[in-house]
């Protein structure tokens, strides 16, 4: 029996242990997609306790605490921080097989030097020990100690980017922070608040908006402001991939209908969204920005809790819409005019792995290795088995050696151990394939593959 989470955790063969410890363990981190708050980086926030560091805004943790029958008061409510931590600790022993169990204990080990498994019985000792360590762990020190070189935040076009502007001007920073352009609210024409958002966009861009051309001009203005701060990528969260072409006049009619306060049907919304997404793809290409497409999430399915808590609180689930035709048509529309940007595609549905890999293979180009990427196992898929499945499908149907690797997709500054988790899983898979005689034990070639996937491919792909 192996000890729990020792230095060879998840590394089951000699080859995997060599690959991880010699070729991956000490590499820097490029976190090219996350949701951390740049203001907290600028202000170098210090967390008062583990509840603040762990449970604020983390819907992964909220979901498992709810599943343990805990009242909402002890999750997102006004209960004492220590009591909230206790409720999280009490569910931990039940999370065998859940990545949260591994993530939690990697974070305890790496940032606090704690090797004791978290439970209701050990919560008090761990709480006290962490309280001794936290004063020496402001967020910039967490980032530096994690060997993070680049952070790409996620930002709305209407954001004033003041914190990112200040961070970019800091010559002494050990890491870089770049904005990511996420124009979802300008695209979702049939969602509540669209009209108010367009007015907000108009103000942010100093562009009067009376037409779809004005929307596009305002978005371009804001995109340029992002580029001036080093923006390397956009991000687009879609329930499903959509491609429904329409004459420009029809799209203009739909926009005016929405701006006049009328409801827009889903069919009309699809026409508007297609027009705007194709436009954005072309503008991203002109500016050499990577386009990230996230789709397959059904958002806010519990209407009662959405009304109570709002979005991003743990009430989203996997969608099952078949998207291969629309994904291919969307990319083809950009390719036909030679304006298809480097693109990373993520689906929340693991059944889409083969679809994404097969569509991506139809649109590769000479600009860079694997110009069209199947993005890392996302959200409900970033489990051990989900990552193993993703990596295996990617290897089967594409070029695994060109993969740009892991990201945190997190709101927590303690989530950088997810890169370690991914690297261990990657080395475990490659080591097992070598053990099975499926690939020669050429440690230099294998080591370079691991180093590239863990770090260098992302650095090159995002022009860092």
Q: Is the pLDDT of residue 42 over 90?
A: yes
pLDDT classification of 320: cutoffs 50, 70, 90: confident
Q: Is the pLDDT of residue 248 over 90?
A: no
| Of 391 and 1, the one with more pLDDT | 391
pLDDT attached to residue 172: 79
Q: Is the pLDDT of residue 52 over 90?
A: yes
pLDDT attached to residue 171: 80
pLDDT classification of 57: cutoffs 50, 70, 90: confident
Q: Is the pLDDT of residue 20 over 90?
A: yes
Q: Is the pLDDT of residue 211 over 90?
A: yes
Q: Is the pLDDT of residue 306 over 90?
A: yes
Q: What superfamily does domain 48-137 belong to in CATH?
A: uronate isomerase, domain 2, chain A (1.10.2020.10)
* Pairing label, strands 317-318, 297-298: antiparallel
Please report, for the chain, the start and end positions of each structural domain, with discontinuous segments joined by +: 48-137
Whole-structure pTM value: 0.96
pLDDT, the chain, mean: 96
Residue 72 sits at the vertex; the CA angle it makes with 70 and 74, to the nearest 5 degrees, is 70
pLDDT attached to residue 323: 87
Q: Is the pLDDT of residue 291 over 90?
A: yes
Q: What is the mean pLDDT of residues 411-417?
A: 95
CA distance 82 to 68: 18
Q: Is the pLDDT of residue 331 over 90?
A: yes
DSSP state of 347: E
Please choose, from the candidates 329, 332, 350, 351, the residue with its C-alpha nearest in 3D space to the C-alpha of residue 340: 332
Please choose, from the candidates 106, 95, 109, 35, the residue with its C-alpha nearest in 3D space to the C-alpha of residue 65: 95
User: What is the percent of the chain where pLDDT is above 70?
Assistant: 100
* pLDDT tens, position by position, 155-195: 999 999 999 999 988 887 899 999 999 999 999 999 999 99
CA distance 452 to 274: 35
pLDDT attached to residue 333: 98
pLDDT attached to residue 17: 98
* pLDDT tens, position by position, 187-209: 999 999 999 999 999 999 999 99
- Percent helix, percent strand, percent coil in the chain, to nearest 5: 50, 10, 40
């Amino acid at each position: 029996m192996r000890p729990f989470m020792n230095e060879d955790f998840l590394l089951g063969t000699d080859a995997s242990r060599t690959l991880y410890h010699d070729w991956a363990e000490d590499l820097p981190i490029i976190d090219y997609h996350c949701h951390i708050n740049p203001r907290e980086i600028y202000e170098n926030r210090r967390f008062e306790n583990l509840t603040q560091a762990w449970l604020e805004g983390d819907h992964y943790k909220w979901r498992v605490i709810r599943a343990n029958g805990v009242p909402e008061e002890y999750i997102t409510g006004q209960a004492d921080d220590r009591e909230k931590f206790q409720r999280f600790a009490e569910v931990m022993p039940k999370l065998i097989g859940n990545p949260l169990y591994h993530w939690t204990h990697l974070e305890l080990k790496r940032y606090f030097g704690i090797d004791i498994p978290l439970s209701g019985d050990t919560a008090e000792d761990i709480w006290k020990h962490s309280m001794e360590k936290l004063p020496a762990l402001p967020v910039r020190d967490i980032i530096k100690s994690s060997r993070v070189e680049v952070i790409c935040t996620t930002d709305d076009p209407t954001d004033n980017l003041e914190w990112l502007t200040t961070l970019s001007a800091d010559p002494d920073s050990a890491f870089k922070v770049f904005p990511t352009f996420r124009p979802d609210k300008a695209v979702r024409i049939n969602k509540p608040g669209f009209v108010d958002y367009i007015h907000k966009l108009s103000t942010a861009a100093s562009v009067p908006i009376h037409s779809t051309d004005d929307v596009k001009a305002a978005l371009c203005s804001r995109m340029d402001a992002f580029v001036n701060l080093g923006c390397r990528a956009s991000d687009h969260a879609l329930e499903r991939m959509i491609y429904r072409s329409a004459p420009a006049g029809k799209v203009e009619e739909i926009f005016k209908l929405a701006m006049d306060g009328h409801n827009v049907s889903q069919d009309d919304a699809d026409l508007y969204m297609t027009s705007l997404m194709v436009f954005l793809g072309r503008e991203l290409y002109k500016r050499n920005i990577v386009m990230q497409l996230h789709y397959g999430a059904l958002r806010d399915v519990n209407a009662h809790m959405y009304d109570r808590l709002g979005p991003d609180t743990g009430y989203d689930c996997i969608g099952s819409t078949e998207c291969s035709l629309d994904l291919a048509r969307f990319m083809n529309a950009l390719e036909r005019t030679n304006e298809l940007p480097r693109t990373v595609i993520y689906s929340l549905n693991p059944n889409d792995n083969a679809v994404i890999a097969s569509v991506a293979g139809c649109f590769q180009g000479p600009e860079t290795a694997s110009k069209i990427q199947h993005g890392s196992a996302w959200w409900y898929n970033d489990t051990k088995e989900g990552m193993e499945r993703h990596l295996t499908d990617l290897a089967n149907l594409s070029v695994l050696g060109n993969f740009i690797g892991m990201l945190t997709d997190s709101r927590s500054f303690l989530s950088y151990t997810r890169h370690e988790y991914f690297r261990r899983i990657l080395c475990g898979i490659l080591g097992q394939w070598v053990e099975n005689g499926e690939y020669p034990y050429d440690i230099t070639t294998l080591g370079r593959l691991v180093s590239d996937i863990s770090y260098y491919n992302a650095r090159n792909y995002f022009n860092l």
